[in-house]
Chains A and B, each alone.
Chain A
């Protein structure tokens, strides 16, 4: 029998943690398929054959086997295995609701195992708010298929046709004789379904059964409490940061002190006297220190003396000069403009022209705790314990990076301090695996705060130039939109040639990714419109702390800030109410898509205005009228602003109410309203919380967040030099309205769309529009920190 280390018992403890579920290992023992103990293969899943198991410790899980998704236990409980991870929105609870509903089993008789590559089918981990929208479908279909198979088994057992049976909460009963019944556990508990599914890819996985119409769903639409929360508040949850195995050592990276620095020499004598010192590992410009204890590694990383050489040319302009640089740089790529009508002619003939430029700086993930991972290289396999949201990608990437077969690598996904998108958790997983292979012992690595804030991947900076033309009646007749993104080149997830350690070791991708400056997401009917996007590059492309990667959406908050601020500027120029102006643009169009996005856009804008108690009038707000109109005399000016956007099929309108202190420039967003239509809602309370927090994340980006740098390094390195939203910034009231704006709201096939990321898009513009409403001053540069707001107010003599 293969034994690796005593890892599996601990892993199993993690996997079994919730709800006292019956483990897959117990299932294995009960089934007699595989009897192992304390071997890493103990949780490799019941689906690998014994021979495959011997040849490779971690074969892929076959998504076309029903047993890969659902295990029913003898005690009439079920465990669901899904290839998703949770960034903190409670998606596991929603998966259980959807699958329990289709399976017809009580929610509290289920558990859900997520995202560990050797036990769950590869659904790609998290990303793109697709967990419910895309991955929820195969989950529902396989659960429906399991129900179908169980009904057939019951039919044979009870000698009545399937249509004579009723099923509820895992018990199948003969309709005509309720005294005759059988439970799921009786029918299959501890045994395999052995049902082959079909589908060209995991998203298309299906059996013969069809999913239930919405009207028959009972658990979907309820709000069971999240199963992961109790262990998060009593301290019992084992997080990725908590993983320890015997013989484990601690590593810390030593980052270059300036971007593009070249390592000349390391004075190992500066650290080799530190107690517990094991080794300095370096290759190219990558340096790490490894020690027995964590605090020793931290001390060694601080104390080590390294001779670095500065690059000959500056890696980037200072952040104060960023937008001038971006506007004048020659684009590395330009997207073919999308053109409707004749925007140049329409602008030439317009009664009024509005023109504005907007700037959004680089913004970081800056996860609450720095990137980390632990890797165990024992017995020729590699296990990485990570909170990275794309565990499957990490598995493949690390295998390529280290040159070892993929089926010898697994990533055990565990909870962590989540950020959203391509975070430095990718980088840390590769570093831990590399160091573990070098040292030959399990290695835990964690970045320090200054590394995380300074070197994590960044959302790209954008600069925009937009022109609009109004006719004599104040109708928008032409829009010319031009965006530039500092997004060359944009990192993918877990790419073995682009993770930071690979770059620092000298790996260069032949062709850097082009990056993207995408267009606004709205359903406005504008007869003449041109949308153009360009990507520009910073001078330094590789080994830079300004590497860009997906940060929640990934471009929507920037683009929607510009696009929806500009719509507000047009409304003000037309002396129109901002809600009325938007509704007019939405209703001017007649075409709609299969998801009825236009109808639903109109519905959310109206719903937000109604929930807020919107009083129709043009911005800015004024007291009195005519020549005596004014902003009022007090220090606190109040105003409200709206913005709207969509992402995929989810549509959102948000309203911010602000207080602006004209003496200090301080902005407090006192109230937020969000009208949100994501189709079928699985867990309304869960969605509300995700919406609240998503809005506040964008509020942090609106008010505080900016990656600051001089011409050689990032200068924001902690929570003082790189501020974030705090308790004091919290609105006094947040209202979330869940809207179903579908023209046929009760249709039985109402889809469930992704809820999270759309929420992050309109908020920056809603706040800017509210500040304008309060003060008559338009802020076109993010973030709206006190000094910037005060300077703008003073310049406008407010």
Chain B
């Protein structure tokens, strides 16, 4: 065991743990954070992602002793009571189904947009590649990344956020008559 000090969401906190413990368990079980979650423990899915030095880091495979830098989790994205534009875009676009993977989607999108505020479709697909979802919200995630880019840059993203064909619906609230 060893005393290790971590700066998480702007606050320095010291824990007494085995230094080889993956960061994820410290964040969840010692610091009571709920944003990063266990999905695979193998760095394959993104559920556990946190931001360290501007990068999306897989906390499930990062020993706590290897952390060199301040940690931002999903809980730390909002500033002064306002949601981060990525979070707002996620609500506007109504992205989640069960929502369990969305920590990985949102953290990955935030890091992507920090580096590239106006990504193309191909850049979004490449940048989001490591964030898996089993409810298959990918289509809405990609639309929300574009929406967030617009919120951040103030200019419309290349292409439009893709939506289902709302206009195809006609008729009463029960759906149109085909």
Select A692's contact among B126, B140, B174, beta carbons within 8 Å.
Answer: B140
The CB with the most chain A CB atoms within 10 A, among B124, B125, B141, is that of B125
The one of B21, B35, B140, B175 that contacts A738, using a Cβ cutoff of 8 Å:
B175
B102 in the interface (beta carbon within 8 A):
yes
Is B4 part of the binding interface, using a Cβ–Cβ cutoff of 8 Å?
A: no
Q: Beta-carbon contacts of A351-386 to B below 8 Å, as 1s and 0s?
A: 000000000000000111110000000000000000
Closest to A418 in B: B98
Asked whether A293 is an interface residue with its Cβ less than 8 Å from the other chain, the reply is yes
Which residues of B sit under 8 angstroms from A686, Cβ to Cβ? 94
Closest partner residue, chain B, to A675 (CB atom): B178
Q: Among the listed stretches A526-534, A568-576, A677-685, which one makes contact with chain B, having 4 or more residues with CB under 8 Å of it?
A: A677-685
Q: How far is the CB of A28 from chain B (nearest CB, A)?
A: 28
Please report the C-alpha to C-alpha distance between residue A275 and residue B20 in the assembled complex, in whole angstroms.
13
* Residue A724 interfacial (CB < 8 Å): yes
Say whether B75 contacts A236, CB under 8 Å.
yes
Q: Could you say which of B1, B83, B102, B136 contacts A693, with CB atoms under 8 Å apart?
A: B136
Distance (Å) between the CB of A39 and the closest chain B CB?
24
From known contacts A449-B40, A680-B174, A681-B174, infer whether A734 and B78 are also in contact, taking CB-CB under 8 Å: no
Task: Give the segment of B51-59, B150-158, B165-173 that binds chain A.
Answer: B165-173
- Shortest Cβ gap from A125 to chain B (Å): 15
- Asked if A510 is at the interface (CB within 8 A of a chain B CB), the reply is no
Beta-carbon nearest neighbor of B48 in chain A: A369
B interface, size bucket: 35 or more
Which residue of chain B lies nearest to A276 when distances are taken between CB atoms in the complex?
A: B18
Are B178 and A730 in contact, with the CB atoms below 8 A?
A: no
CB pair B34–A677 under 8 Å, yes or no, is no
B34, A295: Cβ atoms under 8 Å?
Answer: no
Contacts A225-B91, A417-B134, A448-B41; is A234 near B78 (CB within 8 Å)?
yes
Q: Residue A781 at the B interface, CB < 8 A?
A: no
**A606 interface residue (CB < 8 Å to B):** yes
User: Does chain B have a CB within 8 A of A232?
Assistant: yes
- Produce 1/0 per residue, B132-156, CB < 8 A to A: 1111111111100000000000000
Chain A contributes a number of interface residues (CB within 8 A of B) equal to 92
Q: B96 near A: Cβ within 8 Å?
A: yes
Q: Which of A238-246, A559-567, A658-666 contacts B (4 or more CB under 8 A)?
A: A238-246
Does A398 interact with chain B (Cβ within 8 Å)? no
Verify if B119 is at the interface (C-beta below 8 Å from A): no
Q: Which of B41, B42, B141, B164 has the most CB of A within 10 A?
A: B164
Cβ A234 vs Cβ B169 within 8 A: no
- Measured between beta carbons, the chain A residues less than 8 angstroms from B44 are 449, 718-720
Q: Contact between A719 and B169 (Cβ–Cβ < 8 Å)?
A: no
Q: Given the complex, which residues of B lie within 8 Å of A745, measured CB to CB?
A: 171-172, 174, 177
Contact A88-B176, Cβ < 8 Å, known A233-B83, A235-B75? no
Asked if B90 contacts A229 (CB within 8 A), the reply is yes
A183 CB to nearest B CB, Å: 28
Structural contact, A236 and B47, CB atoms closer than 8 A: no
**Partner among B129, B139, B178 whose Cβ is within 8 Å of the Cβ of A607:** B178
**A233 and B34 form a contact (CB under 8 A):** no
B97/A726 in contact, CB under 8 A? no
Residue pair A737, B98 in contact (C-beta under 8 Å): no
Which interface residue of A222, A699, A725 has the most chain B CB atoms within 10 A?
A725
Q: CB distance A689 to B136 under 8 Å?
A: no
From A230, A275, A739, contact of B175 by CB (8 A): A739
Contact of A294 among B25, B121, B166 (CB under 8 A): B25
Q: In this assembly, does A182 line the interface, its C-beta being within 8 Å of a C-beta of chain B?
A: no
| B87 interface hit (Cβ, 8 Å) | yes
Once the chains bind, are B94 and A685 in contact (CB under 8 Å)? yes
Number of A-B contacts (CB under 8 A): 240
Decide yes or no whether B118 CB sits under 8 A from chain A.
Answer: no
CB distance from B161 to the nearest CB of A (A): 12
Cβ A697 vs Cβ B136 within 8 A? yes
Residue on A nearest B1 in the bound complex, by CB: A275
Q: Which of B22, B25, B34, B94 contacts A689 (CB 8 A)?
A: B94
A735 contacts partner chain B, Cβ-Cβ < 8 Å: yes
A204 interfacial contact with B, CB 8 Å? no
Q: B131 near A: Cβ within 8 Å?
A: yes
A730 proximity list for chain B (CB < 8 A): 125, 138-139, 142
**A725 x B87 contact (CB < 8 A):** no
The answer to whether A235 and B162 touch across the interface, beta carbons within 8 angstroms, is: no
* CA–CA, A726 and B96, complex, Å: 16
Known contacts A232-B99, A740-B172, A610 near B178 by CB under 8 Å: yes
Q: Is the CB of B42 within 8 A of A239?
A: no
Q: For B18, give its contact among A228, A295, A611, A719 (CB under 8 Å).
A: A295
Q: Does B8 contact A (CB under 8 A)?
A: no
For A228, give the chain B residue with the smallest CB separation: B99
B78 A232 Cβ-Cβ under 8 A: no
Q: In the complex, what's the smallest C-beta–C-beta distance from B34 to chain A, in angstroms?
A: 5
| B172→A689 contact, CB < 8 A | no
Known A-B contacts A235-B103, A294-B29, A737-B169; the reply to A731 vs B139 at CB < 8 A is: yes
Complex Cα–Cα for A686 and B121 (A): 25
A680–B172 CA distance with the chains assembled, in angstroms: 10
B132 touches A295 (CB 8 A): no
**Cβ of B128 under 8 Å from chain A:** yes
Q: Say yes or no: B45 contacts A719, CB within 8 Å.
A: yes
| Contact B100–A416 (Cβ < 8 Å) | yes
Interface flag for A778 (CB, 8 Å): no
**CB nearest to A420 among chain B residues:** B135
Closest CB of chain B to A549's CB: distance in Å?
Answer: 17
B residues 24-73 in Cβ contact with A at 8 Å? 25, 28-29, 32-35, 37-42, 44-45, 47, 73
Q: Give the CA-CA distance A603 to B165 in the complex, in Å.
A: 17
Given A225-B91, A228-B99, A738-B176, also A684-B121 (CB < 8 A): no
Known contacts A234-B75, A368-B39, A719-B44; is-contact A741 B177 (Cβ 8 Å): yes
A239 touches B164 (CB 8 A): no
* A725 / chain B contacts, CB cutoff of 8 Å: 136, 138
Is B6's beta carbon under 8 Å from chain A?
no
B74 to chain A, nearest CB (A): 4
B106 CB–A CB distance under 8 Å = yes
> Which of B83, B139, B176 has a CB less than 8 Å from the CB of A739?
B176
Q: Please determine whether B165 and A693 come into contact, CB atoms closer than 8 angstroms.
A: no
B87: chain A residues within 8 A (beta carbon): 233-234
B113 contacts which chain A residues (CB < 8 A)? none
B141 — nearest CB in chain A belongs to which residue? A727
Q: How far is the CA of A311 from the CA of B18 in the complex (A)?
A: 39
Taking the closest CB of chain A, its distance from the CB of B77, in whole angstroms, is 8
User: CA–CA, A692 to B93, complex, Å?
Assistant: 13
In the complex, the answer to whether A696 meets B100 with C-beta atoms within 8 Å is: no
Cβ of A795 within 8 Å of any chain B Cβ, yes or no, is: no
B131 partner residues in chain A, CB cutoff 8 A: 727
Residue numbers in B under 8 Å from A196 (CB-CB):
none
Pick from B99, B132, B135, B137: contact of A415, CB under 8 Å? B99
7 A-B pairs with CB atoms under 8 Å apart are A680-B174, A727-B138, A728-B125, A730-B142, A731-B139, A740-B178, A741-B178
Closest 4 A-B residue pairs measured CB to CB? A221-B173, A88-B98, A696-B136, A232-B99
Give the A-binding residues of B (Cβ under 8 A): 1, 18, 21-22, 25, 28-29, 32-35, 37-42, 44-45, 47, 73-75, 77-78, 83, 87, 90-91, 94-103, 106, 121, 124-126, 128-129, 131-142, 162, 164-166, 168-169, 171-178
User: Can you add 17 more A-B contacts, CB < 8 Å, to A234-B77, A368-B100, A684-B175?
Assistant: A229-B90, A232-B96, A237-B34, A242-B34, A293-B25, A294-B25, A415-B98, A417-B100, A689-B137, A719-B40, A727-B141, A730-B139, A732-B162, A735-B168, A736-B168, A737-B178, A745-B177
